[in-house]
Amino acid sequence: MADHAHVGEVDATTGRTTTGHDWDGIKELNTPLPRWWLYTLYACIVWAIGYWILYPAWPWFGGATPGLLGWSSRASVAGEVAALRDARSAMNDKLAAASLQDIEKTPELLAFARAEGGAAFAQNCSPCHGAGGQGSRGYPNLNADRWLWGGTLEQIQTTITHGARWAADPDTHSTMMPAFGRDGLLNKAEMSDVADYVRTLSGHTPDQGADLAKGKQLFMDNCSPCHGEDGKGNIEMGAANLTTQVWLYGSTKADILNRIQNGGGGIMPAWQGRLDPTTIKALTVFVHTLGGGK
């Protein structure tokens, strides 16, 4: 407790005055804060008051006080985006006017298209195809130079624009694999024979005792109209090339049996209307250069 009689008493050891507070004989020294610390505190208080007045700061009905400057982070970002768009407008105009082939032949346009397309790919395509276009089970690897719907610039642009099996777009790639097992087109033994034969097309060893002759005949009767008699696929149908080591849904017999049983196909959104034509063009060039497109 404070002993007012001893307020201002000088401590013999430190030479400082005391506050009058005494705890079990221990007297509290009256040590002021450093001046630099106090000046800093006062400056911060003044700065805080100025910030409250000039910028949005205090919660208010429907948001916060707007501040005298009327600044907002949303408006700031919008301004930066607009400035970036203006800076890129000249190159965007050139990109919009050039053909896909001319873009790839012009180093300046190619570099710009790859930068623009890479940004669009990272934001819109990488969730399915992976950050590097490496794909995953059910999502094509865009680096492998294996194209279900074609790998030319025009074919890639069409696929990006209209998607695959995207019901909202009448021009989408719409064909899909029949469910041979589920719809009763083939029985289990026949599906097993076909799966064994299909695996041999890409160099895999069939099950012991597999009837490859029967499997080949079943393949010719049921699968060749889409995949071709040689199994090399058909980009008009979106039918995969079965002679490579690139398998969209897996290469084990169980994987192939599942596809024969249930059929179907992956769905890709149509980006027309979601992305502007120039961005789709840049994205086309970016994807085309990932895997050595046709």
Give the model confidence (pLDDT) of 182-213 as tens digits.
999 999 999 999 999 999 999 999 888 899 99
Phi then psi dihedrals of residue 2, to 5 deg: -80, 135
pTM attached to this predicted model: 0.72
Same domain membership, residue 285 and residue 144: yes
Which residues does 86 contact at the CB level (< 8 Å), separation at least 6?
none
CA distance 226 to 235: 9
In a domain, 145, yes or no: yes
User: Does 226 belong to an annotated binding site?
Assistant: yes
Same domain membership, residue 167 and residue 274: yes
Question: The tokens 């995949």 sit on which residue?
Answer: 227
CA distance 267 to 63: 41
Which two tokens mark 78?
């919008």
Which two tokens mark 172?
């989408």
Cα 49 to Cα 24, 53, 70, 254, distances in angstroms: 43, 6, 16, 70
User: Does 44 belong to an annotated binding site?
Assistant: no
Half-sphere exposure at residue 215, Cβ-oriented, CA atoms within 13 angstroms: 22
Average of pLDDT values for 78-92?
82
User: Does 288 belong to an annotated binding site?
Assistant: no
In a domain, 237, yes or no: yes
Same domain membership, residue 97 and residue 53: no
Same domain membership, residue 23 and residue 136: no
In a domain, 157, yes or no: yes
CA distance 17 to 28: 9
Same domain membership, residue 282 and residue 166: yes
* Contact yes or no for 102/110 (Cβ under 8 A): no
Question: The tokens 């190619």 sit on which residue?
Answer: 110
In a domain, 244, yes or no: yes
User: Does 227 belong to an annotated binding site?
Assistant: yes
Which two tokens mark 117?
């397309």
In a domain, 178, yes or no: no
CATH of the domain at 116: 1.10.760.10
Which two tokens mark 97?
């006017």
- Look at 255 and 88; give whichever has higher pLDDT: 255
- Structural domain including 90 reads 85-172+268-291
Give the pLDDT score at 22.
81
Same domain membership, residue 272 and residue 168: yes
User: Does 176 belong to an annotated binding site?
Assistant: no
Same domain membership, residue 154 and residue 100: yes
User: Does 128 belong to an annotated binding site?
Assistant: yes
pLDDT digits (tens, 9 = 90+) for 101-115: 999 999 999 999 999
pLDDT confidence band for 19 (50 / 70 / 90): confident
The total of structural domains in the chain comes to: 3
User: Does 1 belong to an annotated binding site?
Assistant: no
Same domain membership, residue 56 and residue 28: yes
